[in-house]
Amino acid sequence: MATKAYDKSFREEVYQNVDSGEDVKLCMQCGVCGITCPLRDEMTHGPRQLWSLIRAGKRDEVMNSPDIMLCTSCYSCKVRCPRGVKVIDVMHGLAHYALEQGIVPRKETSKFGKAFWDSIYKTGRVDETEVPMRYTMMAGPIHGIFNMLEMMDIGRALLSHKRMKFKIGPGLPPSKKIKGMKGLKKMLNKAKAMSPGKEG
Amino acid sequence: MDKNQACYLCKGCGLGEALDFDNLEEVLGESGVSEVKTHDALCSPDGVALIQADVDGGVNAVLIGACSSRVKTDEFNFGSQVIVERASLREQALMCSEAEYEGEETAGEDRQMLAADYLRMSAVKLAKSNVPVPFKLELEPETALMVVGGGVAGINAALAGAKAGVQVYLVEKEAALGGFLGKMAKLAPETPPYQELEDTGLEELVAQVEADGKIKVYTGNTVDKTAGAPGNFTVTLSGGDTFRCGAIVQATGWLPYEPEKLADELAYGSNPGIITNVDMEAKAKAGELGGLGAVAFIQCAGSRDQNHLPYCSAVCCTVSLKQAMMVKEANPEAAVYVIYKDIRTPGQSEEVYREAQRKGVVFIRRDEDYPKISESGGKLAIETMDMTLNDTVEIDELDMVVLATGLKPNNPKVVDAPLVALGMDQEAAKKLAAESKAACDSWSVLNLQYRQGPNLPTLKYAYPDSHFICFPYETRRTGIYTAGTVRRPMRVSQAVEDATGAALKAIQAAHAAAEGVAVHPRSGDMSFPEFAMQRCTQCKRCTEECPFGAINEDEKANPLPNPTRCRRCGVCMGACPERIISFKNYSVDMIGSMIKSIEVPEEDEEKPRVIILACENDALPAIDMAARKGHKWSPYIRFIPVRCLGSVNLVWIADALSSGIDGVMLFGCRHGEDYQCHFIKGSELANVRMSKISETLDRLVLESDRVRVEEISFNEVDRVPEIIAEFMETIEEVGPNPYKGF
C-alpha cells in the first residue's frame, strides 16, 4: 500500500490563508457533514475526508478536489456539525484559495460563475434567461444547442408561467440595465479588488 | 423477655372482601396468638393508634397481617423494643392469587389456605424472635481514622476526616506527602471552561494537613500489622509506632503498566526517544519540553489489549491531551500527533479534547494494530493505518514518541495471568487465577490479621472488590474503604471525590461499630450471629465462607467471631452443619419451624405445596412488584424471605421435603463475575451448596427436580410468574411428595 507522509506545511497554510481554515483543527471526524450532504453521491471525498487530507498535508488531492466547488451552500452540514465547524465557509474558502493558485478544481462551476458574474457586471442583474444561455453556450456552439434542447421543457414551462423572458439567444434582445449602474460597478470593482480569488 | 403478643389484621385494600376473617382468627388462636383485632385500614392514623394503644398497654410483640413488609415501614414502627412481624397478605395472598369464586361473597378456598399459612408462619416467627441487643466491644470503641497513602486521595480523605471532627492518622511510605501528584507537572483542566492547564495544588494541600491539629502524619512508614475489627483496629507501623483506630481508608494509588512488556510491539527501550506518559510527565516537570519540534502520542499502548491490560484505564486519553497541550505551550510551532483507537474523555474532558484541537494537535485514528516505530537519521518515524484516510501513512522527523500506558492495581506481585486468562478455557483460567491470587497475597499494604488473608479481596483485574455503582468505596472488609486509583483507574478530581466519600463512610462505620449496629446493606441492624460453642466441631466452614472475613480462628480452629466486622448476612448460619449459629431474630430453628407450620393437604386433595426461599434484597421486592403489577401465580406457593440465599441452611430443604412439601425453590441474586448479591458470595455459595443437595435427596429417595435455584434480579418482575408456572409444571410431572401425611 502506498505510504504517505504526514506533512505539516499544507495544514498550516490552510489554517492561515483559507477563510475559517482554523475550524479544520476542530473536526473530530464524526462524518455528520459527509452523510448529511445532499450531494454526497456526487462528492469524491466529502468535507470530513477533506479535513483529514488537509491535516495529513495532501495538497494536490485537496486543491484538485471537485468537491470544494460542488458545495451548493445548503448549510445542512454547518448546522449539524457538533464541533461548530463552518463547513461551507471552509469549502468556499478552499475554492477561492485554489483559484488564487491558478487551480480550477471543477470547470463547470467556474464557467457558471463567470456567466453569473458577467451578467451582474454588465447589467446589474442576474438575468434568468441570459445566464443559463451563456453558461450552456460555453460548451461550444453545437454542444450548447444540444444542451439547451435538453432543457426545452423546463424553459417552456417557465415561459408559460411568466417566470422567464423569451430570448432568441444570448443578448437577443439585450437585458435592461439597472438604474445607477455606474455606482454598482464601482462597488463590484472594489469587491473584486478585496477578494483573494475570483470565480471565473 | 416476657412476650406479650397481639395480632392485627387489616381489611383494607380488598382483603376484607376476599378473606374469611373468622377463620383467620381461629387459625391464629391455634398458633398461640389469642388476641386478634381487625381494622378496616390499619395504616390509617386510627389503625396505627389502635396498635400504639396496645403497645402502650404492654404489648411487645406485634403481628400485622396486612401489606408487604417493604411498605408502610414508618407507620408500623413501634420502637426498637417492640418486635413487629408482618404477614404480607395483600401482595402474597391476595394480589397474586386467582380465587376460584371470583366475585362471590365466600372466599376462595385456596386463597384462604394461603392467608392462613402466612399467618401460621408469622406466628411461629414472632414466637421465636427476640429483641436484639447490640454488640458491645470490650474496650472503649475508637472512632479515629487511619488513612494509608499520602497522595491526593489520602490527603483529601485525611482532611475530610479531620473536618468531620475525628482524629486522623495519615501513613505514607515515602519521606514526603504527595504521592503521584507530586510527580505531576500540571493537571488537565478540571474547572470550567476546561481550557487552561492547572497547577497540582499539592503545596497547599500539604500545608493544610500540616496545619491541622487533628491529623497526625507518619511519613516514611508502612503498615506492618493491622489487627482487630472496626471500632477497635490496632495498627503497628514499620517505624514501631502503634495506635488504635476505628476505621481505615486505603488510598495507596496505582502502578504504571510496565513498558518493557511493549518492547516487541512498540520498540520500547530501543531508542531513548520512545518514552511512556509517566516519563513524559517527569520531563514536563523538569521543564524539558522546550526543544521538541515533533512529538507523537500512541494511545492504548498496552491497554484494551488481550495480551496486556484488557481494560481501558480511562485517564490516558486525558493525560495525552494534557501533555500534547504542554508541548504546544512550550513550542506553538511543534507538530503534535495523537494516534488513537478511540478518544475517551469522561466527564468534562471533551472540552480538553477541543482545546487540544484548537491548539493544533493532529489526531489520527488507527486500527487494532500497533503503529510501527522506526529510526532514521537520529529521528523517529511512525507508520500507521489512518482509518479516516483509509490508508497507511507515515509520520517522520519525530523527536519523541510517547506511549500512553495504563494503570495497574497497586500490588507489585500482581501478575498479568488473570488478565490474560479471560479468553482461555475455564480450567486453565481458574488455575492461573489461583496462582496469581497466591502471589498477590504475598504482598500487602495493610497486612490484615484476618483468617482469610492479609489483603482486601479483589475482583477480576485484581482491584479490590466493591459494588461499582451502589457502594463504590466498600470493600469486602468491613470498616476498610478504598479511595482513588487503588480501586480503579481515575483522574485526580475523581480521586478527590472518592476520598471524601470514603472518609465519611469510614467514620460512619466506626460509629456503627461503637453502637453495635451493622453498616450497609443492613444498616442499623442490631442483631449479630451468636455461636453455641459447646457443639462446634471446628469444621472451619464459617471461617472460610464468611464473605467479609469476620470470623478468625484460634489454634484449635475454633471460630472467633468479630461482630463489628459482620454484615449480618447469615452466610455462616447457612454454612454451619451443626446449626450452632443464630441471630436473636433469625435462626435455623425459626425458619425450620416456619416451614413445618405450613399445613400440607393430603395427597388425594391434589393441592401441592411449594415453598420459595426468597432473598429479601432483590427477589422479594421483585415478587412484591410482580403481584402489584397484576401478575397471578399458583396459590400453592409459600414465600419465606431470607436475609441472603447464603443463609439458607440445607436442613431447611430436608425439613420441607420430609414434611410433605412437594418442591423448594430458591430465589436469589445473580452470582459470578457480574454478581448482584448484596453479600457478594451469598448466592454463589447457595448454588454450590444446592449442587450438593442430591445427597440429601438420595437419602430421602426423592427426585432432584424438586429443588431448584433461580436468579432473579430486582427488575425481572415479569419473570416471576413464568418461573413459578414452569416449576409447578415440573412438580406436577414429578408427582406428589411421598412423605405427605407422615
Among the three residues A40, A74, A100, which one is the final residue of a domain in this structure? A100
Q: Which of A17-31, A117-131, B432-446, B624-638 has the lowest mean pLDDT?
A: B432-446
Return the C-alpha cell found at B581.
449459629
* B730–chain A nearest CA distance, Å: 54
CB contact under 8 A, B360 and A15: yes
Compare CB distances from B391 to A4, A8, A15 and report the shortest one's residue: A4
Q: Find the radius of gyration of the CA atoms of chain B.
A: 31
pLDDT at A199 over 50: no
> A95 with A31, same domain?
yes
Question: Does one domain contain both A96 and A31?
Answer: yes
Q: Are B451 and B218 in contact (CB under 8 A)?
A: no
CA B558 to CA B571: how far, in whole Å?
17
Å between B369 CA and nearest CA of chain A: 16
Inform me whether the pLDDT recorded for B509 exceeds 80.
Answer: yes
Rounded CA-CA distance B334/B327 in Å is 7
| Residue written as grid cell 459447646 | B534
Q: Which residue of B has its CA nearest to A61?
A: B389
**Cβ neighbours of residue A138 under 8 Å, at least 6 residues apart?**
A111, A114, A115, A144
**Listed residue (B227, B252, B225, B235) closest to B168, CA to CA:** B235
B83 touches B55 (CB < 8 A): no
Task: Reply yes or no on whether the pLDDT at B437 is more than 80.
Answer: no
pLDDT score for B104: 53
Chain B positions in Cβ-Cβ contact with residue A23 (cut-off 8 Å): none
CATH of span B1-133: 3.40.50
| One domain for residues A95 and A121 | no
Contact B388 A52 (CB under 8 A): yes
Domain endpoint, select from A100, A120, A155: A100
**The CATH number of domain B530-582 is 3.30.310.50:** no
pLDDT higher than 80, residue B415: no
Query: Which is it for the CA torsion B318, B323, B329, B331, positive or negative?
Result: negative
Place of cell 454547518: A78
Q: How large a percentage of chain B has pLDDT more than 90?
A: 80
Q: How far is CA A156 from the centre of its chain?
A: 27
Q: Does B383 contact chain A (CB < 8 Å)?
A: yes
For chain A, helix, strand, coil in percent to 5 are: 60, 0, 40
DSSP letter string over B197-247? -B---HHHHHHHHHH-TTEEEEET--EEEEEEETTEEEEEETTS-EEEESE
Q: How far apart are CA B40 and CA B567, in angstroms?
A: 38
What's the mean per-residue pLDDT of chain B?
92
Beta bridge partners of B560: B552
**pLDDT, position B418:** 47
* Whether residues A59 and A84 fall in one domain: yes
Per-residue pLDDT tens digits for B71-81: 999 999 999 89
Comparing CB atoms, the residue among B353, B358, B362 nearest residue A55 is B362
- Work out the pLDDT band at A3, boundaries 50, 70, 90: low
User: Residue B424 in contact with residue B274, Cβ under 8 Å?
Assistant: no
**A53 with A15, same domain?**
yes
Is the per-residue pLDDT at B101 higher than 70?
A: no
**Would A200 be classed as within a structural domain?**
no
Q: Do A25 and B386 touch (CB under 8 A)?
A: no
Q: Is residue A125 part of a domain?
A: yes
B742: helix, coil or strand?
A: coil
Q: Do A4 and B389 touch (CB under 8 A)?
A: yes
- Distance from C-alpha of B346 to C-alpha of B315, rounded to nearest angstrom: 8
A44 touches chain B (CB under 8 A): no
CATH code: domain of residue A54: 1.10.1060.10
Q: CB-based contact (8 Å) between A83 and chain B?
A: yes
Same domain, A12 and A92: yes
Quick check: do B1-133 and B586-742 share a fold? Answer: yes
Domain C-terminal end among A50, A75, A100: A100
Cβ distance A3 to B393 less than 8 Å, yes or no, reads yes
Q: How many CB pairs under 8 A join A and B?
A: 55
Instruction: Return phi, psi of residue B105, to 5°.
Output: -65, -45
* Count of beta carbons in the 10 Å neighbourhood of residue A11: 25
Cβ neighbours of B19 (radius 10 Å): 24
Write the residue in A2, A26, A29 that is nearest to B391 by C-beta. Answer: A2
Gap between the Cα atoms of B70 and B62, Å rounded? 16
B-chain CB neighbours of A15 within 8 Å are 360
Assign B467 to helix, strand or coil: strand
Give bridge partners of residue B572 from the DSSP assignment.
none
Q: Measured between CB atoms, which of B357, B389, B396 is closest to A53?
A: B389
Q: Is the pLDDT of residue B333 over 50?
A: yes
Contact by Cβ (8 Å): A95, A68: yes
Provide the grid cell at B313: 484505564
Per-residue pLDDT band at B1 (split at 50, 70, 90): low
Mean pLDDT of B390-399: 92
A2 found inside a domain:
no
The nearest alpha carbon in chain B to A26 belongs to B357
Q: Give the start-to-end residue ranges of the domains of chain B.
A: 1-133, 145-253+445-515, 259-409, 530-582, 586-742
Q: Do A3 and B383 touch (CB under 8 A)?
A: yes
CB B428 within 8 A of CB B270: no
A9 touches chain B (CB under 8 A): no
Contacts of B699 (CB under 8 A, 6+ apart): none
Mutate to test the interface with B, among A1, A3, A4, A6 (most CBs of B within 10 A): A6
- The nearest alpha carbon in chain A to B355 belongs to A26
Domain encompassing residue A55 = 8-100
Are A21 and A15 a contacting pair, CB within 8 Å? yes
Q: Which grid cell is A149?
A: 434542447
Q: Nine-digit cell at B372?
A: 510501527
Q: Does one domain contain both A79 and A120?
A: no
For the stretch A6-40, pLDDT in tens is: 888 899 999 999 999 999 999 999 999 999 999 99
Nearest Cβ partner for B389 among A15, A25, A56: A56
Grid cell 479481596 — which residue?
B457
Q: Which CATH architecture has domain B586-742?
A: 3-Layer(aba) Sandwich (3.40)
Interface of A with B in 129-148 (CB under 8 A): none
What does the pLDDT read at residue B103?
A: 53
Is A197 part of a structural domain of the chain? no
Strand order in the sheet with B372-376: A4-5, B391-398, B379-386, B372-376
Which chain A residue is nearest to residue B342, measuring alpha carbons?
A: A28
Is the same domain home to A142 and A127? yes
Is the CATH number 3.50.50.60 carried by domain B259-409? yes
Task: For residues A45-61, give the mean pLDDT.
Answer: 93
- State the nearest Cα–Cα gap between A62 and chain B, in angstroms: 13
- Quote the minimal CA–CA distance from A97 to chain B in Å: 21
Measured in residues, chain B has a length of: 742
State whether residue B172 is helix, strand or coil. strand
- Please indicate, yes or no, if residue A138 is contained in any of the structural domains: yes
DSSP string, A138-177: TT-HHHHHHHHHHTHHHHHHHHHTTSS---SBTTBSPPPP
A5·B386 Cβ contact <8 A: no
* Rounded mean pLDDT, B509-514: 96
Q: Does B391 touch chain A (CB under 8 A)?
A: yes
H/E element, B501: helix B492-515
**Residue A84, by phi and psi: left (phi above 0), alpha (psi -120 to 50) or beta?**
left
Contact indicator for B560, B551 with CB cutoff of 8 Å: yes
Q: How many CA atoms lie within 13 A of B12 on its CB side?
A: 15
Instruction: Give residue B460's pLDDT.
Output: 77
Q: Assess whether A85 and A34 both reside in one domain.
A: yes
DSSP one-letter code for B13? T
Overall CATH class of domain B145-253+445-515: alpha beta
By DSSP bridging, strand B581-582 and strand B610-615 are unpaired
Whether A87 maps to a domain, the answer reads yes
Q: Which three cell numbers stand for residue B474?
A: 466498600
Chain A residues whose beta carbon lies within 8 Å of the beta carbon of residue B363 = 28-29
Q: Does A186 touch chain B (CB under 8 A)?
A: no
Measured between alpha carbons, how far is B452 from B545 in angstroms, rounded to an integer?
9
Contact B391 A1 (CB under 8 A): yes
Query: In this predicted structure, which of A194-198, B403-407, B624-628 has the lowest mean pLDDT?
Result: A194-198
Helix (H, G, I), strand (E, B) or coil at A67: helix
DSSP 8-state symbol, B108: P
Rounded Cα gap, residues B481 and B477, in angstroms = 8
Q: Which residues of B touch A53 (CB under 8 A)?
A: 389
| Interchain CB distance below 8 Å, B357 and A28 | yes
Distance of CA B412 to the CA centre of its chain: 25
pLDDT of residue A1: 40
Q: Where are the alpha helices (DSSP H) in B571-634?
A: 571-575, 588-597, 619-628
Residues of A in contact with B354 (CB under 8 A): 26, 83
Point out the least confidently predicted range of A77-86, B71-80, B409-418, B532-541.
B409-418
B661: helix, strand or coil: coil
Interchain contact B389–A (C-beta under 8 A): yes
CB < 8 Å to A8, chain B:
294, 335
pLDDT in tens, B454-490: 999 988 788 888 777 778 889 999 999 999 999 999 9
- Tell which residue, B195, B187, B456, B451, has the closest CA to residue B323: B187
Residues from chain A that touch B353, judged by Cβ atoms under 8 A, are 28
A69 and A111 part of one domain: no
State whether A56 and B393 contact (CB < 8 Å): yes
Tell me if chain B has a CB within 8 Å of the CB of A29: yes
Residues A111 and A184 in one domain: yes
The answer for residues whose C-beta is within 8 angstroms of residue B342's C-beta and 6 or more apart is: none
Cα dihedral B524→B526→B529→B534 (10° resolution): 160
Number of domains chain A contains: 2
What's the rounded mean pLDDT across residues B47-73? 94
pLDDT band at A41 (very low <50, low <70, confident <90, very high): very high
- What do you get for the CA distance between the two ends of chain B, in Å? 35
In B, which residues are within 8 Å of A27 by CB distance?
A: 357
